[in-house]
Structure 1
Amino acid sequence: MPTPANPSLQLPLLDLAKHLDYTQLHIGTSYELLRQITKKAVQYGCATVCVRPQHLGWTLDILAGSATKACVVIGYEYLTEQFTLQEPATQESLSRYSVPWATKLEKLEKILTLLELFEPKVELEIDYLPNLLDYLRAAPQKTYEEINHFIAYVRQRSPETLVKLIGENYFLTDEQKAQIYTWGKQAGFDFFKSCSGYTARGATIEDIILMQQIAQNQIKIKAAGRVNQYNYQGFLNLGVDRIGSSQAEEILVHHQTLLGEALCKGGS
């Protein structure tokens, strides 16, 4: 039975879905699988479907007219499921964060143009991964400038688009995390996101608390990276605004079981 000691168990199923970014970032994902995931996200009423830029077009006709938004990642070009980033940070692993600014800008412009031309309108969120190679190889000013240039470009081109800054907490000290998220707060990001999903450790309770201390209720928090049906409650109980997971359906089914409710699929 739900108890007051666990606030997440008092969250109705459809409200939980509004906290979920149903994520599919595999480079080789199939058209059929991604469309199936998108349909489920809409049926459940998830906040977004989170995909790579090259897969966005596969989702739009399903998302159109629904409350579920599109979410696209920027800066993931060199991150693949064949390479899980490990500690310690090596030149090889960090080089996977060194996506050129021109490449990010080109991808961003294509995404925004596609959505401008698509009817009916689909709302957009962007999960942005900055260049950590510069940051961790003694050129933090370059990362600072890129973070500010990115958010300024989005605000100029698409002011209504929500943008999340990924700190990639796994590789950073607490002091480095605080610096990057403080930059993001000053620049005007809408969310802090804990992880790309491509490191050996994902979201942690300690990192979420640190992010909240920086955010001071002015920036929303997204827990991402290895969040599943077994640990999502801990993040919800901390008050995160969003959870990113490729196991969104499993989370919802598990939550339904805990609530003892019939799994009624919502959304519009």
Structure 2
Amino acid sequence: VGFPLGQMSSEAKVFEASWASDNGADEFDMVINVGLLKAGEYETVFDDIVKVVESAHGEPVKVILETCLLTVEEKIAGCVISREAGSAFVKTSTGFSSGGATIEDVSLMKFVVGDKCRVKASGGVKSREDALKMIVAGANRIGTSSGIKIVTGESNDNRGGY
């Protein structure tokens, strides 16, 4: 919902989530409104997330922060807002920006949300070692395009970039 930067209106996000729910979606990814978060419009960001959570009709909503675009303070604010708005997860990345999950971000996110919500490390997790580091840092779930290699223990020679 709201890919890739969460810039669409809350009404459009509600429509998107409601349509998906009516058509069988049982889990939702929504992108936090990065621009509003960076502008310090925290109440508006909170209201936006609450509306999507309500439109999901009790199904889990993962709020994607797009951590590579945020300062530490913005990451903390995004986690607090997402947690208090009722998200099931905070997630590091959409995969559209310049970076994915880092151990530092996952650790910070877990510290901020505690046990009230979960953390999904997404983007840049290419090996079993990467996945284990993310889990140790606090990730409850891993988003990766290298799942088979991680599970089978194959090496991944394509470690460049995101």
- Deviation of residue 193 (structure 1)? 0.7
Q: Secondary structure at the match of 1:151?
A: helix
Q: Provide Cα deviations, 1:187-207, integer angstroms capped at 9, x if missing partner.
A: 221111111111211100111
Alignment check: 8 A CA contact 2:17 2:52 kept? no
Structure 2 CA distance, aligned partners of 1:175 and 1:239? 19
Q: Provide Cα deviations, 1:79-108, integer angstroms capped at 9, x if missing partner.
A: 4xxxxxxxxxxxxxxxx5412223222221
* Matches for 1:86-125 after TM superposition, within 5 Å: 96-115=5-24, 124-125=26-27
Which letter does structure 2 place at the counterpart of 1:152? E
**Structure with larger RCO (C-alpha < 8 A, sep 6+):** 1
- Deviation of residue 179 (structure 1)? 1.0
Query: Are positions 1:128 and 2:30 aligned together?
Result: yes
- Deviation of residue 185 (structure 1)? 1.4
Task: Give the fraction of aligned pairs with identical amino acids, expressed as a percent.
Answer: 24
Alignment check: 8 A CA contact 2:37 2:78 kept? no
Structure 1 CA distance, aligned partners of 2:93 and 2:84? 20
Aligned partner of 2:146 in structure 1 is 247
- Deviation of residue 171 (structure 1)? 1.3
Q: Provide Cα deviations, 1:207-236, integer angstroms capped at 9, x if missing partner.
A: 111111112222111100121125222112
- Deviation of residue 180 (structure 1)? 1.4
- Deviation of residue 138 (structure 1)? 5.2
Structure 1 residue aligned with 2:68, among 157, 170, 174?
A: 170
Q: Secondary structure at the match of 1:124?
A: coil
Q: List gaps (5 residues or longer) in structure 1.
A: 1-73, 80-95, 116-122, 258-268
Normalised by the length of structure 2, the TM-score is 0.84
CA RMSD of aligned residues (A): 2.0
Alignment check: 8 A CA contact 2:18 2:55 kept? no
Normalised by the length of structure 1, the TM-score is 0.53
Structure 2 CA distance, aligned partners of 1:181 and 1:237? 19
Structure 1 runs (4+) greater than 6 angstroms displaced: none
Structure 1 CA distance, aligned partners of 2:19 and 2:51? 17
Aligned partner of 1:200 in structure 2 is 98
Give the count of matched residue pairs: 154
Q: Once structures 1 and 2 are overlaid, which stretch shifts more, 171-180 or 137-146?
A: 137-146
Alignment check: 8 A CA contact 1:198 1:225 kept? no
